[in-house]
Amino acid sequence: SHSMEECDALCSCMAIMVNGVFQCFGTPQHLKSKFGRGCTITATAPNNAAATALLREAFPSGSVLDAHAKTITFKIEDDNVALPKLFETMERAKTDGVVEEYSISQTTLEQVFIRFARDQTEVEAREEQYNTRS
């Protein structure tokens, strides 16, 4: 299937292939745990600038994926960030009125697949560059 959301809901085991090359095999949760990076925070804030500043200060390795109206999406790709710290920071921000509500989500299968595809594309580009120099 080309729908990772469908695979996550329906499959007990799955394989990911990129450009016809087998990349990995396992349960959806195993693949997300092993190949996923970090998590995503989505927050509703009365002031996006204040929420962004707080998130960047608390998680310097993170980056803003999207910010519009009152919603901000922040990606943390650091696997060493502890969940208690994430929740503590966001609950403190909620208590202080910096954010109104938030959600923290695990890397999706779609993001895992895109990472494999991006890595494959980078390898092919390096190989092509090497071959044109020879």
Print the SS3 string covering the chain.
CCCHHHHHHHCCCEEEEECCEEEEEECHHHHHHHHCCCEEEEEECCCHHHHHHHHHHHCCCCEEEEEECCEEEEEECCCCCCHHHHHHHHHHHHHCCCCCEEEEEECCHHHHHHHHHHHHHHHHHHHHHHHHHC
Over range 31-56, report the average pLDDT. Answer: 90
What's the pTM? 0.69
pLDDT at 91: 96
pLDDT tens per residue across span 99-129: 999 999 988 888 888 888 887 777 677 777 7
pLDDT at 98: 95
Over range 5-16, report the average pLDDT. Answer: 86
